[in-house]
Amino acid sequence: MQQYGYIRVSTRDQNPERQFLAMQSRGIPQKCIYLDKMSGKDFQRTGYQKLIKRLKKGDLLVIKSIDRLGRNYGEILEQWRKITREIGANIEVLDMPLLNTAVGHDDLTGVFISDLVLQILAYVAETERAFIHSRQSEGIAAAQAKGVRFGRHKKEVPEDFQQYYRLWTQGEITVRQAAEKLGMSSSTFYRRCKEEEKCVTKGRKNETPSSNAFL
């Protein structure tokens, strides 16, 4: 039986040292430890895919905690079944001793208990996500009913914006120069100028008298 360790951190800035120490204390050699530095949203990860190709029947895969395997419990269940049933390897989760298919494996007790615990965890996680989504939707609906608007708030333009807007339209100043004077980025100044042009154009259309006005 060969033992393998799998380590995952969500970003390249996170330190996987704690997980490495856990693997080493478990007696897993460095060459048998696979690492991914990316999100756990799915299992399309280089380290994990290499590990799966090496796993054989009777081998043991060790992980520090179940969320190091992934975040999506539906996909975790799928991978769990693939490893324990299709490949025939065992899985041990160090932070949760009940998730250890190697315990009582001869009479399938370990596999049964681990599958049962994982199913419960998946149910709890899915239910919690549904509750959170429901509470968020209810909160948003209640806030909107009170007139609260969501999304990014548009920053107020500086007091001198109209002055520099006129200078820009008259060709007396460049976008960059105007933006620097106002303490804005060039793209923001230009966007606000275009918004101002639309307002001016719309205002002129509204002021245009109809043909019946002179009758």
So which residues are the catalytic ones?
10
The span from the CA of 176 to the CA of 112, in Å, is 68
* DSSP letters spanning 104-168: TGGGTHHHHHHHHHHHHHHHHHHHHHHHHHHHHHHHHHHHHHTT---SPPPPPPPTTHHHHHHHH
Torsion sign over Cα 156, 162, 168, 173:
negative
The span from the CA of 101 to the CA of 89, in Å, is 9
Q: β-strand 3-9 against 90-93: which pairing, if any?
A: unpaired
The number of residues in the chain equals: 215
Beta-bridge partners for 92:
62, 100
The span from the CA of 89 to the CA of 82, in Å, is 9
Q: Which helix (H) or strand (E) holds 179?
A: helix 175-182
The span from the CA of 141 to the CA of 79, in Å, is 38
